[in-house]
């Protein structure tokens, strides 16, 4: 093949990828619309629209045309000729293509139907705390996933193949190491905290006007450098961020009238996800690399902004006065230190999504241990509730009263999303590790926060992380930015320093 032909093939390949991205953008807009205000009577027909477009994207990703591009560009000498970005595009496509092609179409179709039924069965089961009605679905999902793992292939632990879907390159070996180190310090820290007196919090228990909550959330987003010309904030039941393209990254939140912190920290959290996507390099638009590199790195950004910035003392030294005047008359007699301690109180609980910065990691480790057991064959689905409760008692010292607040609390398993949970705790670890480097490289870090000057922080993250999108792996990013692999010690040090001060222990 002449160089000219190869150039034409490359152009066609890129146009093909761009077309897939365009379909995905349309689908993402439809989902955003369905979750923010689409009239309910139109949903059934709209779902068919999503189905049609998604089918087309899947068809394109596994088509003969795609296969032809990959056969050609995966040849060693052709791959070597490509620039770095294009090579990454090809490798990313190849990974997806292989994964999709290895599952027979009818088997995948049956799995889609199964998980769709299972999600609906899970909702009922959770509502009624009825584990028995959900168990058969979960057994089928685990069995099918086991089959898929055999078809996909795996290195080392079978669960590695699942982890890799959400956190490319992550393994059981690595997770055992980092989670082990974290747990070893987190559990005793938690015990010391529990022995100390709890901060005053009852002033949080009052009605906060929703229009004012919204106004305050918007002003914080603006301070964070969230670009409102490249996004918007809407309301929804289950908040999320969605990147349609880097010029349109939308976030959603939910205001609770009796809770000032839920919408505020939720908005900062989603705003962190959004900053990542808004600041991906324009050069990656229309490629399959124009997205965050992994669930874990994405979560590191939402949690960095929510916790490292939003739950810091410096942040509230700057913004607490504004919060007080926004809710004039409601928290006038509460000083900033009291407020700061209240929003950082630690308490073991049963429900993951309500957990604090410290115990959240333990909720995740429990799920990780259980998933690992399911795919190692050392734990059966039937034994899950008992194993769940035992782990909660061991790690957190609490025991669920029923399956609804125990093993049935999360939607993930009903959709077959095994390997996803670790991302949340990885996010906390990555965030602490990035923060360590950031503090070293930006000695005025705290001062900037205390001044409400968050732009240099956003610029540093853009420079180091955001701009690259998916063109670098999580490990490449962590190594380049911090000079070492993922290391849980930074999170341990951050938690110990912060909570020793908060609790005076």
Active site residues: 270
C-alpha closest to that of 68 among 18, 5, 152, 21:
5
Alpha helices by DSSP H, listed for 102-200, are: 105-128, 131-152, 159-166, 172-195
Encoded tokens for 467: 């701009």
Smaller CB separation from a second copy, 34 or 165: 34
DSSP H or E stretch at residue 427: helix 422-441
269 is in an annotated binding site: yes
Query: Cα angle at 403 between 399 and 404, to 5 degrees?
Result: 105
Name beta bridge partners: 253: 235
Q: Which pairing describes strands 233-235 and 241-245: parallel, antiparallel, or unpaired?
A: unpaired
157 is in an annotated binding site: no
Encoded tokens for 281: 């390099």
Which value, in Å, is the radius of gyration of the alpha carbons in the chain? 23
CA distances to 81, 113, 336, 373 from 314, in Å: 50, 50, 10, 42
Shortest Cβ 274–a second copy spacing (Å): 11
Shortest Cβ 458–a second copy spacing (Å): 16
Encoded tokens for 13: 């390949």
Q: What phi and psi values does residue 341 have, to the nearest 5 degrees? A: -70, -35
273 is in an annotated binding site: yes
Smaller CB separation from a second copy, 168 or 231: 231
Q: Which residue has the tokens 């193949």?
A: 161
Rounded distance between C-alpha atoms, residue 399 and residue 128, angstroms: 18
Residue 237: Cβ within 10 Å count: 8
Encoded tokens for 317: 């030294």
Q: Which residue has the tokens 């799920």?
A: 367
Smaller CB separation from a second copy, 133 or 236: 236
Shortest Cβ 454–a second copy spacing (Å): 20
C-alpha of 338 from chain center: 30
Encoded tokens for 21: 């991205």
Smaller CB separation from a second copy, 275 or 295: 275
Smaller CB separation from a second copy, 286 or 416: 286
- Residues forming contacts to a second copy in the complex (CB under 8 A) are 18-19, 22-23, 25-26, 29-30, 33, 37-46, 48-49, 52-53, 227-232, 244-248, 250, 285-286
Smaller CB separation from a second copy, 192 or 282: 282
Q: Is the dihedral of CA 27, 31, 37, 42 positive or negative?
A: positive
Smaller CB separation from a second copy, 30 or 91: 30
Rounded distance between C-alpha atoms, residue 300 and residue 465, angstroms: 11
Shortest Cβ 49–a second copy spacing (Å): 4
Q: What phi and psi values does residue 250 have, to the nearest 5 degrees? A: -100, 145
Residues at the binding site are: 269, 273, 299
Residue list for the binding site for Zn(2+):
269, 273, 299
């Amino acid at each position: 093949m002449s160089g000219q032909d190869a150039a034409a093939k490359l152009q066609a390949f890129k146009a093909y990828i761009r077309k897939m991205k365009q379909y995905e953008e349309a689908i993402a807009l439809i989902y955003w619309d369905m979750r923010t205000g689409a009239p309910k009577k139109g949903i059934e027909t709209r779902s068919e629209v999503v189905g049609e477009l998604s089918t087309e994207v899947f068809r394109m990703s596994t088509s003969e045309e795609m296969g032809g591009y990959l056969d050609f560009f995966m040849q060693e000498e052709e791959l070597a000729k490509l620039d770095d970005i294009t090579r990454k595009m090809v490798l990313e496509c190849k990974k997806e293509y292989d994964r999709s092609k290895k599952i027979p179409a009818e088997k995948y179709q049956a799995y889609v139907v199964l998980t769709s039924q299972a999600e609906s069965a899970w909702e009922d089961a959770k509502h009624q705390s009825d584990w028995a009605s959900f168990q058969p679905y979960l057994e089928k999902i685990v069995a099918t996933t086991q089959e898929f793992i055999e078809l996909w292939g795996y290195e080392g632990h079978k669960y590695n193949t699942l982890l890799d879907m959400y956190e490319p390159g992550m393994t059981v070996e690595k997770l055992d190491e980092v989670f082990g180190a974290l747990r070893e310090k987190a559990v005793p820290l938690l015990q010391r905290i529990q022995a100390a007196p709890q901060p005053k919090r009852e002033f949080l228990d009052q009605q906060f006007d929703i229009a004012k909550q919204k106004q305050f959330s918007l002003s914080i987003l603006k301070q964070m450098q969230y670009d409102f010309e490249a996004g918007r904030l809407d309301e929804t039941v289950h908040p999320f961020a969605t990147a349609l393209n880097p010029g349109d990254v939308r976030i959603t939140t939910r205001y609770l009238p009796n809770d000032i912190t839920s919408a505020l920290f939720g908005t900062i959290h989603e705003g962190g996800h959004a900053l990542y996507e808004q600041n991906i390099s324009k050069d990656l638009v229309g490629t399959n690399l124009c997205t965050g590199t992994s669930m874990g790195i994405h979560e590191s950004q939402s949690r960095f902004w929510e916790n490292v910035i939003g739950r810091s003392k410096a942040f509230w030294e700057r913004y607490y006065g504004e919060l007080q005047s926004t809710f004039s008359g409601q928290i006038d007699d509460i000083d900033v230190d009291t407020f700061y301690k209240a929003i950082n109180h630690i308490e073991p609980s049963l429900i993951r999504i309500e957990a604090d910065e410290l115990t959240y990691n333990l909720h995740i480790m429990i799920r990780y241990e259980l998933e690992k057991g399911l795919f190692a064959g050392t734990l059966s689905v039937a034994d899950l509730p008992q194993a769940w409760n035992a782990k909660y008692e061991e790690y957190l010292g609490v025991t669920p009263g029923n399956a609804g607040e125990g093993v049935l609390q999360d939607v993930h398993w009903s959709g077959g999303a095994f390997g996803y949970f670790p991302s949340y705790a990885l996010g906390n670890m990555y965030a602490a590790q990035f923060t360590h480097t950031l503090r070293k490289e930006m000695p005025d870090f705290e001062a900037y926060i205390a001044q409400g000057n968050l732009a240099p922080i956003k610029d540093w993250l853009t420079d180091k992380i955001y701009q690259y999108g998916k063109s670098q792996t999580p490990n490449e990013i962590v190594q380049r930015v911090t000079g070492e692999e993922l290391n849980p010690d930074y999170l341990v040090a951050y938690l110990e320093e912060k909570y020793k001060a908060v609790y005076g222990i």
